[in-house]
Structure 1
C-alpha cells in the first residue's frame, strides 16, 4: 500500500502524461491485461482512457485491473485511470 502523500506525488507525475491505452468494447481480456502488465513493468506509471462503449466505469475498470495485476489504482477521474506498480527489474520512480 502507498500513503496519501505518495499517491499525491504520483498524481502530479501523471498530470502531464498522455493515455497510452484505451479500454473499449473488447473489455478487459487477457491480452489487454498482458499489455498493461508489460507497460507497468517498463514505465511503472501509466494512464488509460475508458471509452463509453466499454461497459465499465473508470473506478470499476481500475478495480478489476488492479485486482488482476496487483497494481495500485492512483486515480480514476471521469474516463481516465492512472495505475502504478514498482518495476521489479528497473525501478525508476522514487517515492517520497
Structure 2
C-alpha cells in the first residue's frame, strides 16, 4: 500500500490530536517495542511515536526502519514525532476513510 499526498494530509490531520503512547529512548527499537507498536496499530491503525532527545538515531532512518519492520507507512516525521499508519483489513469499520480509492 502506498499513501498518496491526499492520504497523508488526511492522516496528518487525524493524528494532530493524538497523544504519543510510546517513546523511543536511548536504547532505540527492540522486539518488545515493535510488538507493542504493532498491537496498537492493529487496534487503532494510526500511531504517533515520540523520540526522546537522548536517542541519537537519525529520525528518517528510524521511521523507515519502523515502517519496514511493521509493514506500515510513514505519514510524517515532525520534530521528535513519527506518525505511522497501517491499514487493518480485519476491522469491521475503519476509523479512517482515505481519500484515495486504491487503498480499499
**1:55 partnered with 2:56:** yes
Which runs of no fewer than 5 residues in structure 1 stay unpaired?
Answer: none
User: Equivalents in 1 of 2:35, 2:89: separation in Å?
Assistant: 16
User: Equivalents in 1 of 2:77, 2:58: separation in Å?
Assistant: 9
**1:37 partnered with 2:38:** yes
User: What SS class does the counterpart of residue 53 from structure 1 fall into?
Assistant: coil
Task: Please identify runs of 4+ aligned residues in structure 1 that moved more than 6 A.
Answer: none
User: What SS class does the counterpart of residue 92 from structure 1 fall into?
Assistant: coil
**1:27 partnered with 2:11:** no
The TM-score with structure 1 as length reference comes to 0.93
Task: State the number of aligned residues.
Answer: 96
Encode CA deviations 1:14-73: one digit per residue, 9 max, x unaligned.
111111110012211111001000000000011010011122232221111001111000
Which runs of no fewer than 5 residues in structure 2 stay unpaired?
Answer: 100-104
The TM-score with structure 2 as length reference comes to 0.87
User: Equivalents in 1 of 2:48, 2:60: separation in Å?
Assistant: 13
Q: Which has the larger radius of gyration?
A: 2
User: Equivalents in 2 of 1:65, 1:57: separation in Å?
Assistant: 12
**1:95 partnered with 2:98:** yes
Q: CA RMSD in A?
A: 1.0
User: Equivalents in 1 of 2:19, 2:12: separation in Å?
Assistant: 13
